[in-house]
């Protein structure tokens, strides 16, 4: 396990991004399959009617099997779409089966923006988030753009009704001992790796 306290955030990001990029195609496929097994029959996934996922990039663990399963079960699936303005924000847009995607300015596939199919984050039941690094305490290190943090900032002001549930998805090799959270960081409900679940305050399962 990596000791995060010895590295700056940029250094830690570089190290963890290189670690996941160095996984072989076979390792990536096995990890994606194991992630599917961890989540597909779990109550968190089964109960949610509106789910936000992502399309894997830069060595991220691939939730494509979960996305296909969600559509098969008739769930509403939403993907991030970067806003043209302000360029530091994103929307969540419903994905239609068989929809043609385009590349955004970071080279990540996304639906063509259509405000009629976009919803506020708080109306989701479950958000499955990509990450660069994580710890057992709900800490998440993202890519540094702040898109998810800005979208979830409203949760900092809520004490009761806190939707959606936030679950990070990761390769086990992205785990660190402890992340120092910034004021804008939103703790995760749980993190699921290709090996196990991590929930703050409980033993890994």
Quick: pLDDT tens for 185-204.
888 999 999 999 999 988 88
Backbone phi and psi for residue 147, each to the nearest 5 degrees, phi listed first: -65, -45
- pTM of the complete model beyond 0.75: yes
Element containing residue 35 per DSSP (H, E) = helix 25-39
Which has the minimum average pLDDT: 93-97, 112-116, 123-127, 161-165? Answer: 161-165
Q: What is the pLDDT of residue 131?
A: 97
Binding residues: 55, 60, 140-148
Q: What is the pLDDT of residue 180?
A: 86
Average pLDDT over residues 3-9: 82
Asked if 134 contacts 141 with a C-beta cutoff of 8 angstroms, the reply is yes
Binding residues for ATP: 140-148
Q: What is the pLDDT of residue 119?
A: 96
List the domains of the chain with CATH numbers: 4-198 (3.40.50.10420)
Distance CA 151, CA 178 (A): 24
Q: What is the largest CA-CA distance in the chain?
A: 46
Binding residues for substrate: 55, 60
Element containing residue 148 per DSSP (H, E) = helix 147-151
| Length of the chain (residues) | 205
């Amino acid at each position: 396990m990596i000791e995060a306290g010895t590295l700056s955030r940029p250094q830690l990001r570089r190290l963890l991004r290189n670690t996941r990029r160095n996984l072989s195609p076979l390792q990536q496929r096995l990890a994606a399959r194991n992630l599917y097994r961890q989540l597909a029959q779990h109550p968190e996934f089964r109960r949610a009617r509106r789910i936000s996922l992502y399309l894997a990039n830069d060595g991220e663990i691939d939730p494509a099997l979960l996305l296909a399963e969600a559509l098969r079960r008739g769930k509403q699936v939403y993907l991030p779409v970067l806003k043209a303005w302000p360029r530091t924000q994103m929307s969540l847009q419903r994905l239609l089966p068989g929809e043609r995607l385009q590349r955004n300015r970071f080279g990540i596939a996304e639906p063509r923006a259509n405000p009629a199919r976009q919803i506020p984050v708080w109306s989701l039941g479950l958000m499955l988030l990509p990450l660069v690094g994580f710890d057992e305490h709900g800490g998440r290190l993202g890519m540094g753009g702040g898109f998810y943090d800005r979208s979830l900032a409203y949760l900092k002001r809520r004490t009761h009704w806190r939707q959606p549930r936030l679950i990070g998805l990761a390769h086990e090799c992205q785990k660190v001992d402890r992340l120092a959270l910034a004021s804008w960081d939103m703790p995760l409900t749980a993190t699921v790796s290709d090996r196990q679940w991590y929930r703050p305050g409980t033993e890994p399962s």
